[in-house]
Amino acid sequence: MCGRYALYGPVSRLRERFGAEPGDWIDRYNIAPTQIVPVIRAAKAGGRETIEARWGLLPGWMKEPGKTAQPINAKAETAAEKPMFRSAFRRFRILVPASGFYEWMQGPNCKQPFFIRIRGGEEPMGLGGLLERWEGPEGVVWSFCILTTEPNELLAPIHNRMPVIIAPEDYDAWVDPELMEPGIVGELIGPYPPELMEAYPVGKAVGNPRSQGPELVEPFQ
């Protein structure tokens, strides 16, 4: 599962990585479900664009949002067949920009949070996500969930799932709404190469969604 992540760094780096204007991008070190965050989708005129969306998927066909679960994650292995996700998996795939994500490892007495990022900590990652548009009495709501997959060798000791990380060379194919064949899309997802990543323990303050600040991603001794 992926239940927290961070997004920070120079706007120029984010623009260069994702090929989209970031808009009002601010450093955020503890992004949690239900929050509004920037995501990257294919632009109608070509290329990519940034929109704001809420973390927790709300399908367009849902009649009573308050009475149905709004998942923050979806299993990449089954998303193409599940009614909740299959439409978005075919046509509305997005990139969720992240500087890194958090996972909790179960210890003998408590859970220890870890921060996982691209090795070196300089480059952001594009998490594979699904986007939905829901329209109600108060207007349009854009929402998304993050796909998860089996962990690689780095993540396996920490958690039994990890978010899908899309390779930069696959960004265009991933967000392409014309690419609908599940088998071909499935070739773009899977555990990210562990040698390109790093993980280290951080302080437990990240467990509180109100906590913010760069100290949350500092190594914890």
2 is catalytic: yes
Among candidate residues 40, 25, 51, 54, the one with its CA nearest the CA of residue 145: 54
Which three-class secondary structure string do you get for the chain?
A: CCCCEEECCCHHHHHHHHCCCCCCCCCEEEECCCCEEEEEEECCCCCEEEEEEEECCCCCCCCCHHHCCCCCEEECCCCCCCCCCHHHHHHCEEEEEECEEEEEEECCCCEEEEEEEECCCCCCEEEEEEEEEEEECCEEEEEEEEEEECCCCCCCCCCCCEECEECHHHHHHHHCCCCCCHHHHHCCCCCCCHHHEEEEECCHHHHCCCCCCHHHHCCCC
Structure tokens at 154: 């780095």
Which of 2, 49, 132, 145 is catalytic? The answer is: 2
Which of 16, 52, 77, 103 is catalytic? The answer is: 103
145 is catalytic: no
As annotated, the active-site residues are 2, 103
